[in-house]
Amino acid sequence: MTVETASGPRIDLEEANRRLDGASAWDILRWSVETFGPRLTMATAFGPEGCAILHMLSHVDPDRQVRVFNLDTGYQFPETLALRDRIAERYGIEVELVRADTTVEQFEESNGGPVYATDPDRCCFERKIVPLRRAVVGYDAWISSIRADQSEHRARASLVGWDRKFDLVKVNPLLRWSRRDVWAFVVANKVPYNPLHDQGYPSIGCWPCTRPVAEGETDERAGRWAGQAKTECGLHSLDSSQL
């Protein structure tokens, strides 16, 4: 499949995946920066995977061509926002905060209360998906930190794919890493990470929809939208995006 990016260059996805098959995450990132330059962006929620990529990016993109941003829903943990400052201090990468058009107070007031409690899909859509669509206008590609072993949706992804939801090439440098691989990298390189991970939170999103994983729960995303069928915020769902 060959796709045409926003700025014009055509990318042969099959050829890119053949070229990068077996490549290290470092090499995949390096290819991304060399291929797309300032037309490459990255959204991070400051999970350990994202922080590992930022560590690599600080080396393979010394000129800071790649814009990195965080979708600040207004419901993030204070520890998550504090980690943004630690990343800036360690790597000199200033992660931009991208927000919705309304504050949390305005959003809840206009909807008669917290939307996350009654319609979490809509909450994610309005606080994450809509701002992300605005944030990536004019870019050709974005870096994600998903791993194939995290969920059924993510297992269907490829190293380089076309994200139909956002009309971007999507690069997944850690796709074939395991959770053990991520934490081994974080520890070996002293990568800053969210202290909530040490308190039973393997996966961290917005505070209303995230809880620690209970003893005996093996799914690292079991603490996200617990008790609901929902498992993704929508950014990485493959039913309507990357194929």
Q: Tell me the C-alpha to C-alpha distance, in Å, between residue 23 and each of 17, 143, 181, 192, 217.
A: 10, 16, 15, 25, 32
Given the residues 56, 233, 235, 238, the one annotated as active site: 233
Q: Report the run of H or E that residue 120 belongs to, with start and end.
A: helix 120-124
51 is catalytic: no
Q: Is the dihedral of CA 232, 175, 79, 66 positive or negative?
A: negative
Distance CA 40, CA 1 (A): 20
Distance CA 222, CA 237 (A): 17
Helical ranges in 156-239 per DSSP H: 179-188
- Residue whose pair of structure tokens reads 């931009």 in the numeric block: 96
Q: CA nearest 52: which of 192, 172, 164?
A: 192
**Binding site feature residues for [4Fe-4S] cluster:** 123-124, 206, 209
What does 129-140 look like in DSSP terms, one character per residue? IHHHHHHTTT-S
Query: Which residues participate in catalysis according to the annotation?
Result: 233
